[in-house]
Structure 1
């Protein structure tokens, strides 16, 4: 055992070159997540088990009440493109979100990938397992599916509300239950 190695900080928050993650007191970061460097996590947002948010060479911002579900990777493009996740965004299990912008109420399905300089506008949806290529833009309320992802249809506000808008509030509530359960262990 090498006793000269630096001790890592306790918990899932790690500094990088003087930048430390900033987590709102009402946000939930699961104990097995890794949040590194210049990352800000907003009010009521939640980052689940085995997620990695690595803001080492640029910044990551996660807006209020957004949920980054289990096994997701969020990263940046060195010095060129940050990752911005707006309010009430859902990023499904095992997604990859890389150097892109997810506007308010965007929805990224399980196992989907969003690549550099791509944008999902407010209420836009990328289906499970889909890949949004670099520089592509999903418009407001558009549903895109496939690899590469293509527009399938435009959702009505009612369809969006019925299928997708319940996820973010559900995860805020569930995060509170996880926080309470972990505090009692």
Structure 2
């Protein structure tokens, strides 16, 4: 993946910006409340507050980025400005998501994903990892298995492809499954554990698919 000096400059600028936006209110809060209330242990509370603020500021900046310049689906060269923009978005997302790890319980994962731009339905179980949440849609009551990976981008030699991934209501993605850009999974469909779903694969509703690469096993 091509990396240029502008990538380091932009990433460094936004990292410092979010760090500063999180540090200042944390230090004020520490002087006013946590230091008097918790004594020498206030550093633990202050550290958690800083991480929470860092994650929330990261999410807020990413949502603003999506408002002013969303990601149009398509194939782009690694010299394209959109590729630079995608790398910046990804760096902010990864750092922000990492900062929120102490608060990311199994029940909070859908909320965190929605915070960073994913379209999340009601009552889903999210045990997997979402890459490019701004291009991922998950329907009501879907199950995303533990350590599965859903990625809305595919990087080939010299290009990056960005396409939405859509998972229908009540669909099930098995543990350790991998879904790539442009994949759609119909309502009530099941992707078996450990399967790899190649780019642009469309799995109809109420079917079981599995394998590497996936193929239809049976109707449900």
Match of 1:118 among 180, 183, 199: 183
Q: Is residue 180–residue 197 contact of structure 2 (8 Å, CA) maintained in 1?
A: yes
TM-score of the superposed pair, with normalisation by structure 1: 0.57
1:74 counterpart = 2:130: yes
Matched, 1:14 2:14: no
* Corresponding position: 1:33 with 2:89: no
Match of 1:95 in 2: 148
Taking the aligned partners of 1:98 and 1:88, their CA distance within structure 2 comes to 20
Unaligned runs of 5+ in 2: 1-16, 24-49, 65-99, 153-164
Instruction: Pick closer, same or farther for the CA change 1:154–1:112 going to 2, 3 Å.
Output: same
Select the structure that is richer in helix. Answer: 2
Within 5 Å, which residues of 2 pair with 1:1-185?
A: 5-6=19-20, 7=23, 8-10=50-52, 13-16=55-58, 17=61, 19=63, 31-33=102-104, 46-48=107-109, 53=113, 59-69=117-127, 72-76=128-132, 82-99=135-152, 100-155=165-220
Conservation of the 8 A alpha-carbon contact between 2:138 and 2:169: yes
Number of equivalent positions: 126
Larger Rg: 2
| Deviation (angstroms), 1:19 | 2.5
- Contact 1:122–1:140 (CA under 8 A) maintained in structure 2: yes
TM-score, normalised with respect to structure 2: 0.49
RMSD after superposition = 3.5
How far apart in 1 are the matches of 2:216 and 2:132? 25
Q: 1:153, 1:11 → 2: CA distance?
A: 47
Alpha-carbon separation, structure 2, partners of 1:121 and 1:75: 20
Aligned-partner Cα distance in 1 for 2:201–2:140? 21
| CA offset digits 1:96-131 (Å, max 9, x no partner) | 012211010110000001111100000011000001
Partner Cα separation in structure 2 for residue 144 and residue 123 of structure 1: 12
The CA distance in 2 between the partners of 1:132 and 1:85, in whole Å, is 16
Distance 1:126 1:106 in 2: 8
Residues 65 and 89, structure 1, Cα contact 8 Å, conserved in 2: yes
Structure with the bigger percentage of strand: 1
